[in-house]
């Protein structure tokens, strides 16, 4: 390749970075994830509380196991949905439950917070179509 062609190829790659993450797992029809607890609008008396995660028409499976119709839970805290064609970030706003947990003890400072669930496949990439819950708002006292 000529130098100029290489530069053009690099420029094209920079313009289409998401193509590298195109691999997505199909979600089964009717798959639905929802927050069992806390309810939307709840006031939580302490900073530490359990989040209970519900899932219909789909199974929970630990990360790293590539099987059809399964995934693992992610709790999104105080953030919007991440890009749905890339692995879900892992930080204090994107909590992974890669062991297949369906409940988690979470600690948040006093104030208003949002919680939302998003399923990820064995590779932490949202399914196609993505399976995510309604976003709820809670107040921690």
Q: Which is nearer to Cu ion, 25 or 140 (CB)?
A: 25
Q: Which is nearer to Cu ion, 34 or 122 (CB)?
A: 122
Among 122, 138, 133, which Cα is nearest to 60's?
A: 122
Instruction: Say how many C-beta atoms besides its own lie within 10 A of residue 88's C-beta.
Output: 23
Q: For residue 46, what are its two tokens?
A: 């302490």
Question: What is the residue whose two structure tokens read 């890339």?
Answer: 86
Distance from C-alpha of 25 to C-alpha of 5, rounded to nearest angstrom: 34
Q: Which is nearer to Cu ion, 38 or 120 (CB)?
A: 120
Q: Which is nearer to Cu ion, 83 or 110 (CB)?
A: 83
Question: What is the residue whose two structure tokens read 């309810």?
Answer: 39
Least Cβ distance, residue 74 to Cu ion (angstroms)? 6
Least Cβ distance, residue 80 to Cu ion (angstroms)? 17
Question: What is the residue whose two structure tokens read 């289409």?
Answer: 16
Q: Are 131 and 34 in contact, with CB atoms under 8 Å apart?
A: no
Least Cβ distance, residue 127 to Cu ion (angstroms)? 12
Residues in touch with Cu ion (CB under 5 A): 96, 120, 124
Least Cβ distance, residue 68 to Cu ion (angstroms)? 18
């Amino acid at each position: 390749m000529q130098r100029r062609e290489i530069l053009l190829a690099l420029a094209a790659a920079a313009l289409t970075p998401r193509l590298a993450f195109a691999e997505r797992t199909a979600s089964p029809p009717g798959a639905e994830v929802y927050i069992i607890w806390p309810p939307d609008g709840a006031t939580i008396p302490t900073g530490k509380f359990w989040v209970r995660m519900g899932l219909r028409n789909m199974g929970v499976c630990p990360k790293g196991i590539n099987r059809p119709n399964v995934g693992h839970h992610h709790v999104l805290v105080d953030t919007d949905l991440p890009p749905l064609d890339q692995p879900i970030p892992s930080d204090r706003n994107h909590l992974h439950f890669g062991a297949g947990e369906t409940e988690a003890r979470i600690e948040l400072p006093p104030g208003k917070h949002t919680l939302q669930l998003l399923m990820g496949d064995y590779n932490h990439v949202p399914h196609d179509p993505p399976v995510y819950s309604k976003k709820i708002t809670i107040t921690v006292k």
